[in-house]
Structure 1
Amino acid sequence: MHLLFLSRPDRGHLYPTLRLAEELGGRGHQVTFASGDPYVDETAGPGVRILRFGRDERGLLDMPVFRSQGPVDAVVADPRTAKAAGAFGAVPVVVAGTNLAGGREWPGERSSSYVFTLPGPRGAVHDPWRPGGRRPVLLVDGPPIGPLVRAFGDTQWQVVVGDSTRFAGLPHADVFLTDGRLAAVSAALRAGVPMVLAPETAEETGYARHVVALGVGRIVAPAEQPAEELRQAVERMRVDEPTLVTARRLATRVEAAGAPAVAATAVEALLDAESVARAA
């Protein structure tokens, strides 16, 4: 099949679906990996051609080099480019991303046409954060700043707020304090980092409760909680060995679930099912 990948870079110019495209190219598919980012890798594996489309994915339609490759049989889009897939004909569309796929095991996307793929080290990550010294690291994404200053201002903790490359600091974090958005939860489960969760919406609360049920999280309310209690909650997650063991075990399972070979097989299965449904 001729598979068109539509990809917008993640913050830090990472292409989570590039390894998936390379796996499918290696299986004999003709793959066009299209992005508008100037930092996209210039080369890819066998069977994969990388094209830049500028600011709009539809710009591909005016490119002779794209038209010369023949019609597209299916589109694999990331969540930000899925809306543009219709411009390439009435073809099957698979959405592939780094949020986990939903199920009983962990919280995730519920769409039947969604495939979870692990982000790879491709692309140009700019100024990834590194910890200073050996002090414990609390990565924060979402909760308000004021309670954090009161709880951790005079402690040994390095508190990293507003990670400029999204969750790039997670490999260095001892604990992740987050509002419980699916992207954040998925990133922490991939990294094997225990979570303290401060959900604000019903959806975030649902994800947070799932994390707690997995044994790798604790729900708090920073704005309503005394500084001492918030600090103790974070400290407990850092040193609780059963939690840490569970987080590492889940990370291993998540890595296996999103490996390029597994994700590629899932894409092929979805497209085969779509082909059968269209022929019926």
Structure 2
Amino acid sequence: MHLLFLSRPDRGHLYPTLRLAEELGGRGHQVTFASGDPYVDEAAGPGVRVLRFGRDERGLLDMAVFRAQGPVDAVVADPRTAKAAPAFGDLPVVVAGTNLARGHEWPGERAFDPYVFTVPGTRGAVHDPWRPGGRRPVLLVDGPPIGPLVRAFGDTEWQVVVGDSTRYAGLPHADVFLTDGRLAAVSAALRAAVPMVLAPGTAEEAGYARDVVALGAGRIAAPAELPAEDLRRVVEQLRVDEPTDATARRLAGLVEAAGAPATAADRIEDLLTAAPVARAA
């Protein structure tokens, strides 16, 4: 098959579906991997042609080098490019991304069907990843308000990283992740084996937070409503909670296997050889 991958980089300027494209190219498929980001890798694995489409995915249609590759059999889009897929014809469309998929013991993506989960690699990184200073414990924060954190951790040994420019790049160095529970954050934390303190702000986030608690990978708290000492106690307890840490490590192994390039490629091949394949919602 000739597979067209439409990709825009995530906040860390990674190309999460590039490893998947290379896996499919290595299996003998013709793969065009197209992105609008100027830092996309110039070289890819066998069977993969890398193109840039500028600001709009539809720009590919005007490129002679794209048209010369022959007709496309199916489109593999990411969540940010899925709406552009119909421009390439009445083709099967699969959305592939780094949010976890349903059908496992963790919360999963509901916005797209069909959807394939893929673990991101490190390709295309253009930002220096954040690294901690010294051996102080690290609390990575995404979502909850800053005020309670200042009161709770301002005079402690904790390094509190708020508003990371590459969003979840600091997770490999974090001891605890304080998040509002959005699916992208939960997915990233489960991949990185980092226990979570969850402060959901919406009904959807509350559902994901309950799923994480049921898995044994985190606790729910409301930082804005907790006295500083109580918030600090929750985070410090989670940092040294060995059962939670063991569960997080076990789940990370399962997540890695579920989103490995070979596993994701098998899923895409199964979807595209089934008849018919519905256009992604």
Structure 2: which amino acid aligns with 1:263?
A
CA distance in 2, matches of 1:150, 1:7: 41
Correspondence for 2:261? 260
Matched, 1:165 2:160: no
Is residue 4–residue 34 contact of structure 2 (8 Å, CA) maintained in 1? Answer: yes
Q: Distance in 2 between matches of 1:276 and 1:69?
A: 23
Deviations 1:219-243 (Å, cap 9, x if unpaired)? 0011111111110000111000000
Secondary structure of 1:96's counterpart equals: strand
Question: How far off its partner does 1:277 sit?
Answer: 8.2
Conserved? CA contact 1:92–1:274, under 8 Å: no
What percentage of aligned pairs have identical amino acids?
86
Per-residue displacement from partner, 1:184-216 (whole Å, max 9, x unpaired)?
Answer: 000000000000000000000000000000001
Say how many residue pairs are matched: 278
Q: In the alignment, what sits opposite 1:89?
A: 89
The 5 Å alignment of 1:190-209 reads 190-209=191-210
**Superposed displacement of residue 102, structure 1:** 1.5
Distance in 2 separating the partners of 1:48 and 1:86: 22
Partners in 2 of 1:100 and 1:56 — Cα distance?
27
Answer yes or no: is the 8 Å Cα contact 1:22–1:45 preserved in 2.
Answer: yes
CA 1:189–1:197 in 2, change beyond 3 Å: closer, same or farther?
Answer: same
Give yes or no for contact 2:92–2:278 (8 Å, CA) kept in 1: no
Q: Deviations over 1:144-166 (max 9, x none)?
A: 00000000000000000001111
* Aligned residue number for residue 42 of structure 1: 42
Query: Which letter does structure 2 place at the counterpart of 1:205?
Result: A
* CA distance, structure 2, for counterparts of residue 121 and residue 199 of structure 1: 29
For residue 276 of structure 1, report the CA deviation from its aligned partner.
7.5
Q: CA offset at residue 177 of structure 1?
A: 0.1
1:76 is paired with a residue whose SS is strand
Contact 2:190 2:255 in 1 (8 A): yes
1:136 corresponds to 2:137: yes
The residue aligned with 1:122 is 123
Distance in 2 between residues matched to 1:85 and 1:213, nearest whole Å: 37
Contact (CA 8 Å) 1:143, 1:179: kept in 2 or not? yes
Q: Cα offset for 1:274?
A: 3.7
Task: Name the SS for the 1:90 alignment partner.
Answer: coil
Question: Equivalent residue of 1:25, what SS?
Answer: helix
- In 2, the alpha carbon distance for the partners of 1:163 and 1:178 equals 12
Q: CA deviation at 1:116?
A: 0.2
Q: In structure 1, how many angstroms separate the alpha carbons of the residues matched to 2:171 and 2:249? A: 13
The one-letter code matched in structure 2 to 1:175 is V
Alignment of 1:174-253 (within 5 A): 174-253=175-254
TM-score normalised by structure 1 residue count: 0.97
The 3 A distance-change label for structure 1 pair 173 and 276 is: closer
Letter aligned with residue 68 of structure 1: A
- Cα distance in structure 2, aligned partners of 1:132 and 1:77: 38
Structure 1 match to 2:57: 57
Gaps of 5+ in 2: none
CA separation of 1:136/1:21 partners in 2, compared to 1, >3 Å: closer, same or farther? same
CA distance in 2, matches of 1:12, 1:155: 29
Give the match for residue 150 of structure 1. 151
Q: Note the alpha carbon deviations across 1:15-72, whole angstroms, 9 max, x for none.
A: 0000000000001100000001110000000000000000000000000010011111
Please tell me the residue identity of whatever aligns with 1:72: V
Structure 1 CA distance, aligned partners of 2:154 and 2:146?
A: 11
Q: Structure 2 counterpart of 1:15, which letter?
A: Y
Match of 1:23 in 2: 23
Q: In structure 1, how many angstroms separate the alpha carbons of the residues matched to 2:126 and 2:227?
A: 37
RMSD: 1.2
CA contact (8 A) 2:3 2:74 kept: yes
